[in-house]
Structure 1
Amino acid sequence: MQNRSAPPRRGAGRPTREQAEARHEELLDAALDLFLERGFELATIEMIAARVSMTKRTVYARHPDKAALFRAAVQRAIERHVVPREVLESLDDGDLADTLVAIGRLRIDQVMTPNGLRLQRIINTESYRFPEIFASNVEQSARPVVDFVAGLLDRAIAAGEVAPTNTGLAASTFMSMVVGGQARAIVRGETPTREELDEKVRFTVHLLLDGLRPR
């Protein structure tokens, strides 16, 4: 009888691009966790590599030093916090108050996610050392939302719904009021109930629109 040999087993080989990217994202997540747990000074490349079962050589192949790894980890968190334009547009139902409430809720909900909490905490603790991470978060994550809200106000002015104003300043102030205070409480562990959040968001929206009402 003919002896049929089993097909040769595939070796582990090189990881696919998708596998390599997944491992890199795992590294960045672990790095951010350790930078939060230990602080930038005390966290080491050895600790981070060990947490994801990598060698230091593998880490250094992607990031030349600890500061570069820190910046990359924070940048990943910022990118995950960005609201795509199409998501913002999907919240616009034509009613200014309802749309502003939906945007406020969305941004607060983002803060309460694991990624949102880590991002806020790392900015709070390390932006004195890396001021660029605060600026990057504003420009990449906050600014597009502010610009979208300013556009909503521009449309409302054109329709005569609100009085002419500096819409960029109004939008920035609104987002700071509706999100900033809630974010600080949430990061401290003082998470409000859904009813409390809704009440505060609606109050802030009504405060803005009452102030901008044509007289």
Structure 2
Amino acid sequence: MRTSSLAEPGVPGPDSDPDGDSPQAGPARRRPGRPTLSNEQLLDKALDLFLEKGFDGTSIDAITAAAGMAKRTVYARYGDKTTLFKAALGRAIEEWIVPIDRLRAEETDDFEQTLLRIGAILVANVLSPAGLRLLRLTNAESVRMPEISIANVQLGTGPTLAYLADLFRRRLGGPDGVMADADEAATAFLNIVVGGQASNAAWGMPMDPQATDRHIRYSVRILLHGLLDREAVERGADDQRLRRLLDETMVQLDEARARLTQAARLARE
């Protein structure tokens, strides 16, 4: 299992523990035979409490009680509650995000079908119980800890956007794979197809599976055909410029013929 990049075990955070808890001096007291949880198990226990009660409502005492672990051990690993919170959240994000290989495996020759499949996976992931709990928790705490949102983008949104931009370049770019607004298209896909559903669910709106499926299909169709129509409009603009150039050239040729005719007449005289 991976250790979260939001915090390193054993490194105290910059904030003091909001609970007023502090490491206990002297040797740690443990009941004989009590097992020591792995670091991943501790983070999972902590996250459950943070998700249930929020950051302020969760104490180190509650975490150690749920984990069956001495407070001294928790402090030795993380130093304070803030650092433990970031580590637990980072681990949860890493476990929750959709691997790019899974998205890539959904690609087909039909580009619209590809986008529908990818959209369905991303929407289902964000609407899952784990996704909604993480979304609500990060939204609640990101104002106080903006680094949470930054980490979320770095771990999940950033790689997904990069993959989508590459997908648009490969499917809609020219022969050399160039598509100037591929990054904007990727962002629009996440915002239109996934973001609206995530926001509605985070605010507690009931999500009907059939309505969600219709939303995905409608949004993909609008986005894809909007991009294709944009290319048609650009081609149309190029055609108009070409016609104007041809018209100007014909006028210039007519003028040149008139001058040649006049010069020939003058030469005969």
Q: TM-score, normalised by structure 1?
A: 0.83
* Counterpart-to-counterpart distance in 2, 1:69 and 1:178: 33
Partner in structure 2 of residue 85 of structure 1: 100
Match of 2:134 among 112, 119, 141: 119
CA contact (8 A) 2:142 2:149 kept: yes
Partner in structure 1 of residue 118 of structure 2: 103
* Counterpart-to-counterpart distance in 1, 2:111 and 2:174: 11
Asked if 1:203 corresponds to 2:192, the answer is: no
For structure 2, the residue ranges without an aligned partner over 5 or more in a row are: 1-31, 233-269
Partner in structure 1 of residue 43 of structure 2: 28
Q: Secondary structure of the equivalent of 2:56?
A: helix
Q: Secondary structure of the equivalent of 1:142?
A: helix
Q: How does 1:65-214 map to 2 (within 5 A)?
A: 65-158=80-173, 164-213=179-228, 214=231
CA contact (8 A) 2:98 2:125 kept: no
* Counterpart-to-counterpart distance in 2, 1:49 and 1:77: 19
Match of 1:44 among 53, 59, 69: 59
Which 4+ stretches in 1 moved above 4 angstroms? 11-15
* Superposition CA RMSD, Å: 2.4
Identical aligned residues as a percent: 40
Superposition deviation, residue 73 in structure 1: 0.8
CA contact (8 A) 1:100 1:149 kept: no
Amino acid in structure 2 at the alignment position of 1:190: M
* Counterpart-to-counterpart distance in 1, 2:52 and 2:97: 24
Partner in structure 2 of residue 60 of structure 1: 75
* Counterpart-to-counterpart distance in 2, 1:76 and 1:114: 16
Amino acid in structure 2 at the alignment position of 1:146: L
Amino acid in structure 1 at the alignment position of 2:129: P
* Counterpart-to-counterpart distance in 2, 1:25 and 1:187: 27
* CA pair 174-99 structure 1, distance change in 2 beyond 3 A: same
Q: TM-score, normalised by structure 2?
A: 0.67
Say which one has the larger Rg: 2
